[in-house]
Amino acid sequence: MKKLYFIFISLFFIQSCAKFDPVDCALNVDYNPDSVWTECHVTILDNGGCSYFTQQGYCISFFEEPSLIDENSTIEVVNSGGKEINYSWKMRLTEIDTTYYIRAYVKTNAGTGYSNIVSVKTP
């Protein structure tokens, strides 16, 4: 029974990630200094051969390279599990005269793919 389960799981992963590359995605940030909210939109450009995403979210930091492994980054999950090729979120940038660095990510069983990094300077 364990062998059958292992074969099923193996076939699922092979089927769900044909190329087995991390996702390539693009981040667009709509920042309006007069508004309370900042809107962020992500488009998946290449799914890396994966048809299922285990997690979609973003990292935000005061430092130039936000990532999931950076201890200075704040990480927010937008979607857990799914097939969404576009996702969005709204957030507040509340610190005055501060530069924020924002980066989206998508996790699959092939690894984590990151978007471009967008910097936003508040007045």
Domain containing 97 — which CATH number?
Answer: 2.60.40.10
pLDDT tier, 83 (very low <50, low <70, confident <90, very high otherwise): confident
- Count of domains forming the chain: 1
Instruction: Find the DSSP H helices in the chain.
Output: 2-16
* Two tokens, residue 51: 């048809």
Closest CA to 50 of 84, 77, 6: 84
* Two tokens, residue 58: 């973003």
Q: Is the pLDDT of residue 12 over 90?
A: no
- pLDDT tens readout for residues 30-75: 999 998 899 999 999 999 999 889 999 999 999 999 999 999 999 9
Per the structure, the complete domain to which residue 46 belongs is given by 2-121
pLDDT tier, 17 (very low <50, low <70, confident <90, very high otherwise): low
* Two tokens, residue 99: 């530069």
Beta-carbon-side half-sphere exposure of residue 123 (alpha carbons within 13 Å): 6
